[in-house]
Structure 1
């Protein structure tokens, strides 16, 4: 339904393009509506995954077993995969950007999540989901659930961990519901022309910047990697989530920015970037975990190839796409420091 109105406008603009130039305006507006629809679909997938995780954890805590622990861990992985479009992917929506900190506290450079959860487990009274909402974001979201389900987690330890795990998962589902609600309103509805073009470009660059940090932080400097700075090192899924993030970003580019570039007459640039997005995804090593790759020279070099591909995309978006659209691009909006 969301495409019907802009398509009518587009048909009209084809007829009048030589006189009014409204074809370009309609194309930009269509890109905005596609961008909004993508966000709504992604929030729904994430919310569904979070609810499935809550159900799985509830089953684990009712009757702990190795099988149910593995199932809960797999549901967490599925939820994290559904979250990847929002790693840097909430630009333009201030409410959603604020909520995202409650869902993923990253980077956690000082193991704040582990230290604070350890303290909570020592307390007699386990905080409810509502009480967690008033505490540090480090104990509210996906990183906290990962610690509870993966870091030294065994069936025997779940009796102690389950009450807190249930609270954290419930709090995360609540945040997912809030995120879903935040994207029911189109934040770009009142924008036109260059403003919309800028938001379209920023949607891609913000996500690319955030994805870049999930690689550059653990890579550190040659011979001095920081594996504990990866996005999901406890579950051994950092590299898999890097790939998922790049796939999500490629889909975003092909859906909203590439058509805009083609419509503006920059077909060669649009297609070249499409090819490089595909190369970036393909270059991610098959290993799910990043730690083994950081531990030896060949593995580190394989990650350098990914980093170089990401760097090319950042440079092309800044130095070529920005000027082509008459916009200035910066890559510093998601610094976790």
Structure 2
């Protein structure tokens, strides 16, 4: 594969294979900071989805948001679970705390509605498996919100790997840090293990974990991890995590994540014939700055920024309308939780943990 072939149509949506009509009407379940600041604007700016229902604990306090995005219906969680306004939406988006994902996804599936759910799918592998089974039995689409899989930089990286541009991949280095308390209070649900299921690993480390699995198109066979917390308010979940994944191809991936470090993210793949470096892949709005070295050739690419969140909603909507299965699916979400639970076991025991 020639480098110029990859960069020639860098931002092309390769998943957009045919024309589709209409939009997928969404019920957004939970309108916290991310939903208000990122998800609702992304849906409004996109092509294939529209918000028709808001689900919140305080409908009376959401009138301004509903008016801003021209949303006709605002209901509370009990009303949603009872099936109110089910005729007003085709699918749901679930950005609630992780412990509630299964409850709302299962209810949506019972109503015959498609599900786009934030990651991780649930707080445990067992709970996530129940959620996946409910969606499978109902015959509805379940897509974990792995937005990296829908945006151009990571998709082009997978093409470069498949095209042997850097030879056989030997090492992957991925890291994501975000100073949580600069943007949230110590009472945030992300520091409650019952609501989140973990700390930096499930909230940030899942990005390099899932992205590595995606670009390698391969599953890890073992994991070794360490975690560290300095004290309150990180005394109940890990503040920092480092984990190494082993793959059956011989690739090792070294990944880190932190709730209490300077905001930073990077992904680098080193192969036998070259390397790929992506600058800031995990922040949400990717600057599309990457460097590819292949033999004696070094290419730097800088393109227009792309909102991963908009790409994610358009991809989900397109798959529903086109009747195609999204690449990130229930099995994908379960694979990440399997690796995450193994990483926590490794951190607790100090030993490598094998994966099936």
Q: TM-score range by the shorter chain?
A: 0.3 to 0.5
How high is the TM-score relative to the length of structure 1? 0.33
From the two aligned structures, give the one with the greater strand fraction.
2
Structure 2 length-normalised TM: 0.32
